[in-house]
A and B are shown apart, each in its own frame.
Chain A
Amino acid sequence: MTTRSRARRAVGSSTSVQLLLSMAAVVFALLAGALVLVVTGQSPREAYGALWQGAFGSRRSIGETLLSTTPLIFGGLAVTVAFRCGLFNMGVEGQIAMGGLGAAWAGYWIRGLPACVHLPLALLIGTACGTAWGSIAGYLKARLNMHEVITTIMLNYIAFNIAGWAVSVGGPMKDAGQLPASPIILQTAKLPRILPGSRLHAGILIALVFVAIIWYLLFYSRLGYAIRAVGLSPTAAEYGGIRIARHIMLTMAISGSLGGLAGAVEVLGVHYRLFEAFSPGYGWDAIAVALLGMLHPMGVLLSALLFGALRSGSTLMQTVAGVSRDMILVISALVIFFIALTRSFAGTHGVSPGGKDSAGVAEGS
């Protein structure tokens, strides 16, 4: 093992250094983002000023920040759980689409239930759609050893087309009106708003509960231990009696469920109906959220807040400073670059159900 990689592994082990590196990643991304703005002929001062105003300038904008934080927490947790098992779930965006589809359908089609039954049911159906979507990739990985990066991305495109078809002319969920959207969900399926003067809804509370649940699951339960063992070294896990294929499937099912929940909460709390591409890319931000959050539920919560602020601020940045909202994608990518550069992910290079560490530990180390 070279000095460089030994140093990097040592760095990877200390939480406080990791925290520092995460902050450095954000500073680096914002500075590099400013450079991009200068190159494209825009004023970073004006753009970031509008971004800050849009994220924290008023009670309403703080509500919007927390509103965008909500799906990012679920998405970040989805990526985190998969990553802990050595799997890359690139399919959160598609799982969001499927979750939104299921929740919207349950929200307008099922009638005559009181809110205390209808809302949980709609959340559950949306979640189940995400579970199913994640499980396809899990099955293909566990049984057929198909790389989850390719399968989850193909499944994204399929999900976008299914959701798009469902609300297009002639589609099964198309509303009678002009818009390519589903009917509006019933009052009984809507997530209640919790901050007067803003659109913030109770989904944020569910998200906080899930931060605790996933924390417990990953670090204090048998299942979490097994998931992390498979992620760290499939060979060792298998010697220890942990069945790899089964844990790959379980992990992708959990990860997909969290993605589906993100979509369900967006539809039941924000849009109240399904339309194509209702997620502005939360599934992609989720990858940056998970990595910046050091693949820990508490870290995910903090970095989801940061990306939530960027997302909600970007709307004002677009209208006031004329900078495309896609600036946020560039910032997320820069964060991921910085983290890839500075942090070691030993043991998370990929897992294969055959029990081999497909690329676990660097050769000869």
Chain B
Amino acid sequence: MQAWLKVLNLAILASTIQIATPIIYAALGSVMSERGGVINIGIEGIMLLSCFAAVVGSYFWGPWAGVLLAMAVGGLLGLLHAYLSVTVKANQIISATAINIVAVGLPNLLVPAIWPGHHAVSPVVPRLADVRLPIIADLPVIGPVLGRQNPLAYLALLLVPVLDFLLFKTRFGLRLRAVGEHPRAADTVGISVTRMRYIGVIVGGVLAGIGGAFLSIGYQSQYSAAMTGGRGFMGMAAMIFGNWRPFGALLACLLFGFADAFQAAAQSASILPVSPRLLLSLPYILTLIALAGLVGKTVGPAADGKPYEKG
């Protein structure tokens, strides 16, 4: 019992936020893309390539340049996905699968080209330092959890209300949702379906890019092969769980983050009767359970994934 109490302390909540952060970015990226009516299963690959871009940027010009480069790469891949799914009207899942596959292979070609002698893992690069929030850090309970985090983790938590406001309280949000729900009606009143969808997907790509940067130069300080480990897909699951809303998605991400943080803490205290190797499956099993528990309770945008043909 005492061992369990030792595991369940505030540090676990602090690491919950760290673990949840990249999933939050993936989930917010998916929300922006799908609210406009484009499914982007390439979020995983976009994050992975952004992880790599962030490390390259940080290696040559410092961590903030890394973040910018990751955002640029994320935005460009978003643009590519938007072009394929909105303009070409290609099958969105097929084209995004190509992004996911190239994201696994390409960095492994580029790592030895940039850093001779390295394979699959980059050298350690400068990471984005954590910041301490002056007043909050001294508060009881909240202090140890939120007082000292990575700037990109704070940004993620800040983006949740910002994007919620943007989507549900502004003209832009109304238009984006309109092209995702009923593109024909939106088109009739003069909203450019193409333009809005491009914006949604590109913004989604940029968000996934920041998530990638957090992973490789915030949470860790190097690139290693396939380091996203399905977080992009977990973000999509979080979006569905959260009913395509930023706050709902945040809740799901925190749930995934807590499960993983608890598992890690319990493992290091070695109080669980299950093999640690098997426990690594936990976040993925939990993702499935979370989705299964929601049967029929959430509904996505009506035109999600459907290309729009002007009639």
- What residues make up the interface of A, taking CB atoms closer than 8 Å to B? 1-2, 4-5, 8, 36, 39-42, 88, 90, 140, 144-147, 149-151, 153-155, 157-158, 161-162, 164-165, 168, 170-171, 281, 284, 287-288, 291, 322-324, 326-330, 332-334, 336-337, 339-341, 345, 348-350, 358-359, 362-365
Interface pair B109/A36, CB less than 8 Å apart: yes
Interface pair B90/A340, CB less than 8 Å apart: yes
Residue contacts A-B, CB under 8 angstroms, 29 given: A1-B309, A36-B106, A36-B109, A88-B97, A144-B292, A144-B295, A146-B292, A149-B93, A150-B236, A151-B291, A153-B230, A154-B288, A157-B281, A161-B277, A161-B280, A161-B281, A168-B277, A287-B101, A291-B94, A322-B112, A329-B101, A334-B98, A337-B102, A340-B91, A341-B88, A350-B93, A362-B89, A362-B306, A364-B310
Interface pair A154/B230, CB less than 8 Å apart: yes
Interface pair A333/B102, CB less than 8 Å apart: yes
The answer to whether residues A5 and B89 also contact, given A150-B236, A329-B101, A332-B101 and a CB cut-off of 8 A, is yes
The answer to whether residues A324 and B101 also contact, given A88-B93, A153-B233, A350-B305 and a CB cut-off of 8 A, is no
Interface pair A40/B98, CB less than 8 Å apart: no
Instruction: Tell me how far the C-beta of A34 lies from the nearest C-beta in chain B, rounded to whole angstroms.
Output: 12
Given contacts A36-B106, A326-B106, A329-B102, 18 further A-B contacts (CB under 8 A): A2-B310, A36-B109, A150-B233, A150-B237, A150-B240, A288-B101, A324-B112, A329-B106, A334-B102, A336-B98, A336-B101, A340-B90, A340-B94, A341-B95, A345-B91, A359-B304, A359-B306, A364-B309
For chain B, the bracket of interface size reads 35 or more
When chains A and B are docked, how far (Å) is the Cα of A348 from the Cα of B101? 21
B108 on the A face (CB < 8 A): yes
- B residues in contact with A327, CB < 8 Å: 105, 109
- B residues in contact with A291, CB < 8 Å: 94
B86 on the A face (CB < 8 A): no
Residue of B nearest to A325 (CB): B108
When chains A and B are docked, how far (Å) is the Cα of A350 from the Cα of B113? 40
The answer to whether residues A157 and B229 also contact, given A336-B98, A350-B305 and a CB cut-off of 8 A, is yes
- B residues in contact with A348, CB < 8 Å: 91
- A residues in contact with B306, CB < 8 Å: 349, 359, 362-363
B134 on the A face (CB < 8 A): no
- A residues in contact with B229, CB < 8 Å: 157
Interface pair B309/A165, CB less than 8 Å apart: no
- B residues in contact with A330, CB < 8 Å: 102, 105-106, 109
Instruction: Tell me how far the C-beta of B143 lies from the nearest C-beta in chain A, rounded to whole angstroms.
Output: 35
Contact residues of B: prevailing secondary structure: helix
B284 on the A face (CB < 8 A): yes
Instruction: Tell me how far the C-beta of A83 lies from the nearest C-beta in chain B, rounded to whole angstroms.
Output: 9
- A residues in contact with B236, CB < 8 Å: 150
B110 on the A face (CB < 8 A): yes
Interface pair B303/A146, CB less than 8 Å apart: no
Instruction: Tell me how far the C-beta of B284 lies from the nearest C-beta in chain A, rounded to whole angstroms.
Output: 4
Interface pair A158/B285, CB less than 8 Å apart: yes
B184 on the A face (CB < 8 A): yes
The answer to whether residues A326 and B288 also contact, given A350-B93, A363-B308 and a CB cut-off of 8 A, is no
When chains A and B are docked, how far (Å) is the Cα of A36 from the Cα of B41? 24
- A residues in contact with B275, CB < 8 Å: 165, 168, 170-171
When chains A and B are docked, how far (Å) is the Cα of A1 from the Cα of B280? 48
B119 on the A face (CB < 8 A): yes
Q: Scan B280-294; emit 1 where CB is below 8 A from any A CB, else 0.
A: 110011011001100
- B residues in contact with A329, CB < 8 Å: 101-102, 104-106
The answer to whether residues A345 and B94 also contact, given A157-B281, A158-B281 and a CB cut-off of 8 A, is yes
- A residues in contact with B94, CB < 8 Å: 291, 336, 339-340, 345
Instruction: Tell me how far the C-beta of A235 lies from the nearest C-beta in chain B, rounded to whole angstroms.
Output: 15
The answer to whether residues A140 and B102 also contact, given A40-B109, A363-B303 and a CB cut-off of 8 A, is no
Instruction: Tell me how far the C-beta of B151 lies from the nearest C-beta in chain A, rounded to whole angstroms.
Output: 29
Chain B CB count within 10 A is highest, among A1, A144, A358, for A144
Interface pair B303/A323, CB less than 8 Å apart: no
When chains A and B are docked, how far (Å) is the Cα of A329 from the Cα of B110? 13
When chains A and B are docked, how far (Å) is the Cα of A336 from the Cα of B84? 12
B273 on the A face (CB < 8 A): no
B147 on the A face (CB < 8 A): no
Instruction: Tell me how far the C-beta of B304 lies from the nearest C-beta in chain A, rounded to whole angstroms.
Output: 8
- B residues in contact with A140, CB < 8 Å: 288, 291-292
Residue of B nearest to A139 (CB): B292
Cβ-closest 3 pairs across A and B: A329-B105, A333-B102, A40-B113
Instruction: Tell me how far the C-beta of B38 lies from the nearest C-beta in chain A, rounded to whole angstroms.
Output: 11
Instruction: Tell me how far the C-beta of A257 lies from the nearest C-beta in chain B, rounded to whole angstroms.
Output: 21
